[in-house]
A and B are shown apart, each in its own frame.
Chain A
Amino acid sequence: MRFKAFWRSNGNMHMADRMEKAQALLDVALSTYAQEILPGLPGDQRYTGAMIANALGIAQRRLTNPDPAQSLLDRLDCDTQEALAKAIREGAVSDATHDGLAATLLDYVEQELEITSPRFLKRRQE
């Protein structure tokens, strides 16, 4: 019954509150998993175990960080990623139309890496 009440109340919650709850859930799940489960896994399961921790970490950062795709679209004045990808392929968005396009895209990719592979980014920027 408590669960039902929980979900009913959640249905009326604002998006921001729901995200916060999801984040809190992920935070505690990840830290418990990383501290209590992962170190005790047998050797043949450790690789999969580490991948799960990695996946949870990405999901966590995806929820907390601003959306890199949206800020790229704002900068290049495009509506969707699909439209932007198409415009770049067709040359409608290019170095000729946008100064420093490669650097802008690199900036976007760095923001993505902050979410998907912060350790990779740190190594590359050392």
Chain B
Amino acid sequence: MAHESRPRTLDPENLGVLETWLGRCIGADDLTIEKAELLSGGAIGENWRLDATVEGGGFQGKQDWVLRTDAATRMAMSHDRAHEFACLRAAHEAGVCVPEPIAECADADLIGAPFMVVAHVGGYAQGHKIVRDPVVAKAGAALAEALGTQLATIHAIRPPGNGLDFLALPEKSPALVQVEQMREHLDRISEPRPALEYILGWLERNAPAKGQVVLCHGDFRTGNFMADQGALTGILDWEFCHWGDRHLDIGWFCARCWRFGADECEAGGIGPRDAFYKGYNAQTDTPLDAAQVPYWEILSAARWAVVALLQGERHISGGEPSVELLLTGLMVPEMEYDALQGILAFEREYAHG
């Protein structure tokens, strides 16, 4: 990630406040952080690796943790850290492969930003790197299948309960809820987007009816899971979690915009789509409907376009001048292209079928 001039939150020389707070949080008698190292500071937040020693309580011994902070301005579409942590905890309890949640702090004053602490897991997440990894090239089908299985495990979390009652239940088709949210965001962006407006209108007219509501990860894609030697080690980034339609996550994972250039591998740029579907259907009580996925891939392109616009807007008016955010904003025509091609293909299919 790029070096930016944004002030860092944590001071590695001054960790006393964090040690005391964390120790109390996990019921330890004593907690010492031997080392705090900044792993990355990007568009979304900072990641610090913590080496800690714990005396007493449930985490006795040497601990290898990661502390994640909020960005200076948080994405309008994402939850705050406390909610993200609750989603992560629900997933962990449901047996999803995630970094174990340790603690979360909503108080921005403690270290300068809200944060959460989770167990460190091995491997790496970067999408560009993962789709070009020779190990993944060989193990891609197995990895795609494992991710399908994990996604079905997430979707087995259903309302109500699970500590997730703060998440709103959709009153209508979750696809229409998505369209509505995207329009609200577009209205706050200074730049008019005629192509995106057309795409949203099409998504509205073709929205599937409300089906079974499940917990959607909301950002389930290559780049948001850790893999080590081609094996899944943890699913990350739970800040876009919501009750919705299972096909949103499936379409998001398979959409062309998240294949990082490895277009022939339709499951996230890492493996065949069939393997991903197979893993999913082996684990679920409700098989996915493959015919619905093209719609959700179009919706995914629109959704990523809106997120990219919001990121570009953070550069323009959000007080975060950054060439990276600006260039993300300029990626929008790529998603508009994929969505319009998807719509034209969808219409051709229906005209002939």
Seen from chain A, the residues whose Cβ lies within 8 Å of a Cβ on chain B are 44-45, 47-48, 51-52, 54-55, 58, 72, 80-82, 84-86, 88-89, 91, 94, 101-103, 105-106, 108-110, 112-113, 116-117, 120-121, 123-124
Contacts and interface: CB of A to CB of B under 8 A. Distances in A.
Contact of B261 (A81, A86, A123): A123
Contact of B333 (A52, A55, A103, A112): A112
Nearest to B261: A123
Contacts of B78: none
Given A48-B2, A117-B333, A81 B192 contact: yes
Interface of B, secondary structure class, is helix
Given A55-B323, A102-B343, A116-B330, A85 B337 contact: no
B337 A124 contact: yes
A102 to B, nearest CB: 6
B38 interface: no
A126 to B, nearest CB: 9
A117 B201 CA distance: 25
Nearest to A80: B192
Contacts of B334: 113, 116-117, 120
B323 to A, nearest CB: 5
A60 B264 CA distance: 32
A101 B198 contact: yes
Contact of B197 (A55, A88, A102): A88
B340 interface: yes
A89 B183 contact: yes
A60 to B, nearest CB: 13
B135 interface: no
Contacts of B347: 102
Of the listed residues B194, B200, B326, B338, the one surrounded by the most CB atoms of chain A closer than 10 A to its CB is B194
B337 A103 contact: no
Given A45-B3, A105-B195, A124-B338, 18 more contacts: A44-B3, A47-B1, A48-B324, A51-B324, A51-B327, A80-B192, A81-B192, A85-B197, A89-B197, A89-B201, A91-B201, A101-B198, A106-B337, A109-B337, A113-B333, A113-B337, A117-B334, A121-B337
Nearest to A82: B192
A98 B234 CA distance: 48
B198 A105 contact: yes
B42 to A, nearest CB: 11
A46 B180 CA distance: 39
Contacts of B286: none
A15 to B, nearest CB: 24
Contacts of B197: 85, 88-89
Given A51-B323, A85-B193, A91-B201, A117 B331 contact: yes
Nearest to A124: B337
A71 B347 CA distance: 25
B192 A84 contact: yes
Contacts of A54: 327
Given A44-B3, A47-B2, A102-B340, A55 B327 contact: yes
A114 B207 CA distance: 32
B162 interface: no
A119 B192 CA distance: 25
B344 interface: yes
A116 B333 contact: yes
B312 to A, nearest CB: 11
B341 interface: yes
A115 B92 CA distance: 45
A105 B326 contact: no
B344 A84 contact: no
Contacts of A81: 191-192, 194
Given A48-B3, A51-B323, A51-B324, A110 B337 contact: yes
A55 to B, nearest CB: 6
A124 B197 CA distance: 22
Contact of B195 (A48, A109, A116): A109
A116 B336 CA distance: 13
Contacts of B201: 88-89, 91, 94
Contacts of B202: 102
A91 B183 CA distance: 15
Contact of A106 (B2, B192, B344): B344
B198 A88 contact: yes
